[in-house]
Amino acid sequence: MTPLTSLRTSEDEIEIINQLLLPHTTEWLPINSIPDAYDAIKSMKIRGAPAIASLASLSIAQNLSRVLKESPPPKYSGAHLDPLLDYLFTSRPTAVNLGAAIKRLRGKLDLLVKNGWEDTRALAQEIIKEARLVADEDVDRNRLMSKHGAEWLLADIAKHEKELENGKTNVLTVCNTGSLATSGYGTALGLITHLFETGNLNNAYYTQTAPYHQGSRLTSFELISLGAPSVMICDTMVGSLFQRFNIHAVVVGADRIAKNGDTANKIGTYNAAVLAARHKIPFIVVAPVSTVDLDIPNGSYIPIEQRAAIEACLVRGALHPISPATTDPAQAVVMMTPSNIDLVSGVYNPSFDVTPAELITAIVTEKGVAVKDGAAEFDLSSIV
Ligand code: MRU
């Protein structure tokens, strides 16, 4: 089976899986312009911090490559690139990977210009290479952080002589951080995949993750495709799960990690962290270095995206035979609130919350694992 991925490319062509239609319909959507990429990110047809950075970068590469094919090729300069980068940057505010990719491309351009690169064609080609690298380097680093994190968890369990279940671990995750949220393999879900591949996973529990349902629509799809043992729970069941089952860790991704370790991730992550602390369950954040924002001292500086109220009033899926209307397998979007709910002030719909460093046991990147060693905050210098 071809491994799942959020996007695929061939030369200048880019296609993404429309994640609004998963898991019932797999539709590949062509991305042919910067506005196409912007719209796909904003409407969450593609989502997940690393995946949106990859798509933004690839759309820049596509744009430059098409510009170069024009005849005669126009003179290329930073003046062409700047507004495109600014525009993409505004698509979603919380995940810093997007901003980091944009900063990286701008930095590359500035460096080349400073070093006297005058051939505009060669200059554009270098930016194209760098932009493609943003997407390409994702999978290898995901495998690396997954291995670091899984090995750390197993060592921590052994160190504290915790009882395993059937000789294996039970972990809980929130949202979707797998192949669909990255260029492949995933971050937190990568760690869980690593546990599974090495025979160390008893069960992967995952929350449905309302209101967009990244858990029940996407993480379920990935874990079932992998053949990994998994159990879905409603977001409201985390406390009950911790009371009744032997859970060895909560493992989540991140959209932005502040200098002190405070971490923004999908709404509901903070709830799970509070409950994990109460039950003394290690809480592990897994993310690439590009998710760490050393420019902000703590989580209060992280911009939290508010999504449209209507998104919290809808459920997406396919019609199920228990409904009388039924045999139509088409996609259904069902409103679950009164249709006259006040969409201006009657719904609160933040896309992310911030988990304070105090509640986080370990932060894992491709460079290694950071723990607090008794301090309230993290020193991330060894893993960035
Ligand atoms: O709103 P989303 O679906 O883009 O939110 C995704 C998350 O919160 C993920 O946990 C995070 O981006 C890490 S993905 C590897």
Q: Whose CA is nearest to atom 10 of ligand 1?
A: 253
Q: At residue 2, does pLDDT exceed 70?
A: no
Q: At residue 264, does pLDDT exceed 60?
A: yes
Mutate to test the pocket of ligand 1, among 47, 217, 263, 305 (most ligand atoms within 8 A of CB): 47
Write down the pLDDT at residue 214. 98
Region 330-336 average pLDDT: 80
* 7 CB-contact burial (10 Å; exposed 0-12 / middle 13-18 / buried 19+): buried
How many other C-beta atoms are found inside a 10 Å radius of the C-beta of residue 345?
A: 7
**Residues in contact with ligand 1 (CB, 6 Å cut-off):** 47-50, 95, 175, 177, 181-182, 187, 214, 253-255, 265-266, 351
Q: What percent of the chain has pLDDT over 70?
A: 94
Strands (DSSP E) along the chain, which ranges?
Answer: 7-10, 13-17, 28-31, 169-173, 201-207, 230-233, 249-252, 256-258, 263-266, 283-286, 292-293, 314-318, 331-335, 352-355, 362-365, 368-371
Name the catalytic one among 138, 235, 255, 353: 255
Binned at pLDDT 50, 70 and 90, residue 81 comes out as: confident
255 catalytically annotated: yes
- pLDDT of 160-203, one tens digit each? 999 999 999 999 999 999 999 999 999 999 999 999 999 999 99
Q: How far is the CA of 255 from the centre of ligand 1 (A)?
A: 6
Mutate to test the pocket of ligand 1, among 16, 17, 94, 177 (most ligand atoms within 8 A of CB): 177
Q: How far is the CA of 164 from the centre of ligand 1 (A)?
A: 29
CA-252 nearest atom, ligand 1: 10
CA-266 nearest atom, ligand 1: 8
Identify the CA nearest to 15 among candidates 58, 72, 77, 79. Answer: 58
Q: What percent of the chain has pLDDT over 90?
A: 81
Contact present, 332 and 319 (Cβ < 8 Å): yes
Write down the pLDDT at residue 77. 67
Task: Read off the tokens for 296.
Answer: 């902000």
CA-178 nearest atom, ligand 1: 15
Binned at pLDDT 50, 70 and 90, residue 323 comes out as: low
- pLDDT of 286-311, one tens digit each? 999 999 999 999 999 999 999 999 99
CA separation for the pair 162, 15 (Å, rounded):
45
CA separation for the pair 191, 73 (Å, rounded):
46
CA distances from 351 to 49, 91, 354, 357 (A): 13, 14, 11, 19
Mutate to test the pocket of ligand 1, among 193, 255, 291 (most ligand atoms within 8 A of CB): 255
